Structure 1
């Protein structure tokens, strides 16, 4: 569970609501159904038009990473690589086939299979790097969907504000309807700007960070697999891959 994500939502939204109450405002004044429909309906509609279905579905699935990010224990991955290295030295590269069924990650399975098949290091790197680039590109595209929503929401909010003001101008002779139009105008702007800066854009950036971290973890595995293919000493492999650890340079 990503505690910072939960804390971010609570602190961000809570600070705004608390500020309104301390200023003597009424929180209920922010509840406006027409403004809600205009801003979020328009934002999702524009997003549906921009992105293909596959990217939209992938981005919805990736949203869970905000609260439940993929676990990437780099130390454990390094230990695996060292184990494979010792296994390859003891039983030869073909012996790595016995380790393939124990792995759940398709990327690791592919790397071990390439090793067991006796491919040279250049071929292994080309194949795995292509896999990494493809996965990274798809992940960043999915994260970009939330970034796009963060761009559309404020603009749609302004559109909602203009529509509310038009409603006000049409009812200048009817004071009872003026309040509703003014409320929709201002609340729509709050919904647009608030959702973009408190939700859509932060979610996009957090997902991008997770995608890049996953890419780095896979790049580390590639270096380990290539080192095994080139017959490097397990101790040297461990020292090389240690550079990927976040705390490797701490005193």
Structure 2
């Protein structure tokens, strides 16, 4: 479980709940069915209309990825592992690492080093791995875009609900009993939209983007490492190049 994501979500919603409790009126006034229908129903409807079913099915996966620990190795450990493989190849030949490569849990790492074991030259290896990375980037960007859209749509639906409430309120100024419910819709839809966009979709979007950038950097390190091993570069050159990428990697 990713403690920072879970802690941020729980902490944010808990602080809002605490503020409501300290307000002295309880949760009742903050629950409004028309506002819920406008914001949540509207966000779901608009999102469903803007994306393909295949992308919508991945929303659950997005939540899981955001809430679970990253499967990507820390970059220093990844670089050390590549240096280890490079050293083994240098000392004993590429076949020395074949069995160990088959046990690697990182699919991208495993595929890259299997190409290396197969004797793939850098001019073929690099385009193949970059193509795989490009398609991974597209998948990740598409999923991040769904949550980005959900956050923006929730805020927009909140504003639409505010306008609906204001119109209803102005149309019933002569009826004091109708002004209160209309005002509730006007205010609570904005609140629901802001909370959904910031404390739900926004958190997931930001965490997915962060994990995506980390994974892309790790893949770039793997591509560079395997290409240099295939080109029979010295261990010192490989270590220097990969460590330079570590310094430039997003923190």
TM-score (norm 2): 0.86
Moved more, 189-198 or 23-32: 23-32
For the residues of structure 2 that align with 1:246 and 1:18, how far apart are their CA atoms? 42
The answer for the alignment partner of 1:31 in structure 2 is 31
For the residues of structure 1 that align with 2:248 and 2:205, how far apart are their CA atoms? 26
Deviation track 1:27-78 (CA, whole Å, cap 9, x = no partner) reads 3311112211210110111111111122222343022222213132223322
Moved more, 70-79 or 209-218: 70-79
Deviation track 1:77-124 (CA, whole Å, cap 9, x = no partner) reads 223212322332244334443233212333122212211222211211
The answer for the alignment partner of 2:55 in structure 1 is 55
For the residues of structure 2 that align with 1:246 and 1:57, how far apart are their CA atoms? 37
Indicate yes or no: 2:235 matched with 1:234: yes
Indicate yes or no: 2:104 matched with 1:82: no
Moved more, 111-120 or 65-74: 65-74
For the residues of structure 2 that align with 1:187 and 1:130, how far apart are their CA atoms? 47
Structure 1 vs Structure 2 CA RMSD: 2.5
In structure 1, runs of 5+ residues without a counterpart are none
Deviation track 1:217-247 (CA, whole Å, cap 9, x = no partner) reads 1101111101110112234323332234469
Deviation track 1:134-157 (CA, whole Å, cap 9, x = no partner) reads 101210110111111111112111
The answer for the alignment partner of 2:2 in structure 1 is 2
SS in structure 1 at match of 2:119: coil
Stretches of 4+ aligned residues off by more than 6 angstroms: none
The answer for the alignment partner of 1:64 in structure 2 is 64
Moved more, 19-28 or 97-106: 19-28
For the residues of structure 1 that align with 2:157 and 2:90, how far apart are their CA atoms? 62
- Contact (CA 8 Å) 1:136, 1:212: kept in 2 or not? no
The answer for the alignment partner of 1:150 in structure 2 is 151
For the residues of structure 2 that align with 1:204 and 1:73, how far apart are their CA atoms? 21
